[in-house]
């Protein structure tokens, strides 16, 4: 074993984007402390940093740090999602944070650190590295949840997310320890070899370990019954930060789940994992959609909708074949564009971050804020899964894979969920365009950065909905790079 201490330039290049994002985050914090007048420039610095990190991420795939970290098309895919989410959240956050004088460098630094953590987590080929990435991502998010620390809901969100997240982390560690205790390694490739050498996957110790690891990931994804934190955190957290929280970290956790499962279950998903994931999917879809129907607060509604949407992702996991993984990745990318669009528009149409976000506030906004209202409408249609949006493409691929694998119950539950979801997604559209305004907004203006975000997101939702081939090709390459 060459060990960690021997580090080659190639190793460093593999974690180039993460390192760069971390350093940039530190620089932003220092700039905020010593050059406060630069604050208006922070979003631009962040955007430039994201672009640079994306450039640094264009390395040749391969394993590094003696196999503890592995870059592949798959990690590249997640890198892109994470960087896109950071960029879009930054675009949407600036106007809002500047208005409330909360545009400290730490906000952008936390975003960058969280993104770096989740990128590292996906690259981890060793469960310990995965854990480090997971914690780095999560701790930054805990802090961001309580960004408006004088708002009681925000502190509540921060505390709740932290306590429950810490609990989930211990689950992950417990699972990791159990797996190590049984097989003597935390390296995924070694584990795979050990299993192939006759160590039964049916071993109860291993099953408990894997169950604990999957529970921790399900917590991050917010699948029922690990969802309880989501509505409160969504409600209390700064809205553009929720746009990030609800998309990229979930995508990363799903990809880690895919990696772990396909390493430890190379021969396909047998008992009890497929029934277990199916149950998670069904519960999430039914519970999320039905409870969302009863919500009158936009962000809570979107939280429950997110639980339901991740239920569709769980269908992809339960189906567990190449086509299903491709569908899952496409779904996650589409969900990212759609959900970020939804949250940025909600932020733009609300009375401010310190106020609640009741659905009724949207009344008549179609006339007063047509730009933001159109983006929100498009996001709702895409979340419903109506063509020609990217939301439809994601559902098409996931359902196709499920039907192809003979999982009709999952497909039918998914269809039923989509029908129910039309009830509350279209209610948003109804408030925007068909209800008389309850309040007058004083000549609001869309700021340039949000405008850019809207245009990018609208284009992504529609163009990828009509011409999904580039996205599909990327997802396919990503899935093919999975260890087989």
Partner 1 sequence: MLDSSTSIQWLGADILTTLVFLPSLGALVLLFLSNEAKNAIRAVGLLASGATFAVSVAVLQKFNPAIAGLEAFRPLLVDRPWIPRFGIRYLMGVDGLSLVLVVLTTLLTLLVLVFSFGQSIPKLRGYVAAFLILETGMIGSLVALDAILFYVFWEVMLVPMYFIIGIWGGKRRIYATMKFVLFTLAGSLLMFVGILFASGVHARTTGILTFSLLEWIPAASSGVWGLTGTQEALLFWAFALAFLVKVPLWPLHTWLPDAHVEAPTGGSIILAGVLLKLGTYGLLRFAIPLFPGAAVRYTPLIAVLALIGVVYGAWVAAAQKDMKKLVAYSSVSHLALVVLGIFAGNVTAVSGAVMQMVGHGLTTGLLFLLVGVLYERRHTREMADYGGIASQVPVTTTLFVIAMLGSVGLPGLNGFVGEFLILAGVFKANVVWAAIAATGLILGAIYLLTLTQKVFWGPNRVKANLGLTDINAWEFAAAFPMIVLVVVLGVWPQPVLDLVRNSVETVVQIAAVRMVP
DSSP code for 267: T
Q: How far is CA 315 from the centre of its chain?
A: 17
* Window contacting partner 1 (CB under 8 A); options: 130-138, 160-168, 304-312, 404-412: 404-412
Which CB atom, from 182 or from 476, has the smaller least distance to partner 1?
Answer: 476
Q: How many residues does the chain have?
A: 484
Cα separation, 368 vs 458, in Å, equals 19
* Residue 296 is a binding residue for partner 1 (CB under 8 A): no
Site string for partner 1, 433-452 (x = CB under 8 A): xx------------------
* Residue 333 is a binding residue for partner 1 (CB under 8 A): no
Residue with tokens 């960058």: 112
* Residue 397 is a binding residue for partner 1 (CB under 8 A): yes
User: How near is the Cβ of 435 to partner 1 at its closest, in Å?
Assistant: 8
User: How near is the Cβ of 198 to partner 1 at its closest, in Å?
Assistant: 34
- Residue choice 12, 55, 430, 441 for contact with partner 1 (CB under 8 A): 430
Peptide bond into 294 cis (omega under 30): no
**Strand positions, DSSP E, 368-471:** none
Which CB atom, from 230 or from 422, has the smaller least distance to partner 1?
Answer: 422
User: How near is the Cβ of 418 to partner 1 at its closest, in Å?
Assistant: 6
Beta bridge partners of 187: 126
Which CB atom, from 10 or from 434, has the smaller least distance to partner 1?
Answer: 434
User: How near is the Cβ of 411 to partner 1 at its closest, in Å?
Assistant: 5
Cα separation, 62 vs 164, in Å, equals 35
Yes or no: say if 59 and 13 are a contact pair by the CB < 8 Å rule. yes
| Subset of residues 456 to 475 that bind partner 1, contact rule: CB under 8 A | 468-469, 472
Residue 137 CA neighbour count, 13 Å, CB half: 31
- Residue choice 22, 411, 428, 478 for contact with partner 1 (CB under 8 A): 411
User: How near is the Cβ of 84 to partner 1 at its closest, in Å?
Assistant: 22
Which CB atom, from 196 or from 360, has the smaller least distance to partner 1?
Answer: 360
Q: How many residues bind partner 1 (CB under 8 A)?
A: 29
Q: Is 431 exposed, middle or buried (0-12, 13-18, 19+ CB in 10 A)?
A: buried
Which CB atom, from 136 or from 363, has the smaller least distance to partner 1?
Answer: 363
Task: Single out the residue of 24, 26, 14 nearest to residue 51, CA to CA.
Answer: 24
Cα separation, 405 vs 400, in Å, equals 9
| Subset of residues 363 to 382 that bind partner 1, contact rule: CB under 8 A | 381
* Residue 318 is a binding residue for partner 1 (CB under 8 A): no
Complete DSSP assignment for 163-223: HHHHHHHHHHHHHHHHHHHHHS--BHHHHHHHHHTT--TT-HHHHHHHHHHHHHHHHHHT-
By CB under 8 A, name the binding residues for partner 1.
326, 381, 386-388, 392, 396-397, 399-400, 403-404, 408, 411-412, 415, 418-419, 422-423, 426, 429-430, 433-434, 468-469, 472, 476
């Amino acid at each position: 074993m060459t060990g960690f201490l021997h580090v080659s330039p190639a190793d460093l290049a593999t974690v180039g984007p993460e390192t760069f994002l971390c350093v940039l985050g530190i620089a932003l914090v220092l700039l905020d402390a010593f050059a406060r007048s630069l604050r208006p420039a922070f979003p631009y610095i962040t955007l430039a940093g994201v672009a640079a990190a994306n450039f640094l991420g264009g390395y040749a795939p391969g394993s590094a740090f003696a196999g503890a970290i592995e870059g592949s098309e798959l990690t590249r895919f997640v890198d892109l999602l994470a960087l896109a989410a950071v960029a879009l959240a930054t675009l949407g956050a600036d106007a809002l944070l500047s208005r409330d004088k909360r545009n400290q460098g730490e906000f952008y630094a936390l975003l960058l650190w969280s993104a770096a953590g989740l990128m590292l987590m996906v690259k981890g080929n060793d469960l310990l590295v995965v854990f480090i990435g997971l914690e780095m991502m999560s701790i930054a998010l805990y802090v961001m949840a309580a960004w408006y620390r004088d708002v009681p809901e925000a502190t509540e969100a921060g505390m709740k997310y932290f306590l429950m997240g810490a609990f989930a982390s211990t689950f992950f560690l417990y699972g990791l320890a159990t797996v190590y205790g049984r097989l003597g390694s935390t390296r995924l490739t070694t584990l795979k070899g050990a299993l192939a050498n006759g160590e039964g996957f049916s071993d109860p110790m291993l099953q408990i370990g894997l169950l604990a690891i999957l529970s921790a990931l399900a917590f991050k994804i917010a699948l029922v019954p690990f969802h309880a934190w989501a509505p409160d955190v969504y409600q209390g957290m700064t809205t553009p930060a929720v746009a990030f929280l609800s998309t990229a970290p979930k995508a990363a956790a799903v990809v880690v789940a895919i990696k772990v499962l396909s390493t430890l279950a190379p021969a396909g998903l047998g008992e009890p994992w497929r029934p277990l994931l199916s149950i998670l999917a069904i519960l999430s879809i039914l519970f999320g959609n039905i409870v969302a129907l009863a919500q009158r607060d936009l962000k809570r509604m979107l939280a429950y909708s997110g639980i339901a949407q991740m239920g569709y992702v769980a269908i992809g996991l339960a189906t567990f074949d190449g086509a299903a993984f491709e569908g899952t990745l496409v779904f996650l990318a589409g969900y990212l564009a759609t959900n970020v669009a939804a949250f940025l528009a909600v932020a733009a149409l609300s009375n401010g971050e310190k106020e609640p976000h009741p659905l009724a506030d949207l009344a008549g906004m179609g006339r007063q804020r047509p730009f933001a209202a159109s983006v929100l409408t498009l996001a709702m249609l895409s979340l419903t899964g109506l063509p020609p949006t990217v939301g439809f493409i994601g559902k098409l691929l996931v359902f196709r894979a499920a039907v192809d694998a003979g999982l009709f119950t999952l497909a039918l539950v998914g269809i039923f969920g989509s029908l129910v979801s039309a009830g509350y997604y279209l209610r948003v559209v109804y408030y925007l365009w068909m209800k008389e305004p309850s309040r007058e907004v004083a000549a609001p203006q869309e700021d340039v950065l949000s405008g850019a975000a809207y245009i990018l997101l609208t284009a992504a939702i529609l163009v990828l909905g009509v011409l999904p081939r580039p996205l599909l090709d990327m997802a396919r390459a990503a899935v093919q790079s999975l260890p087989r």
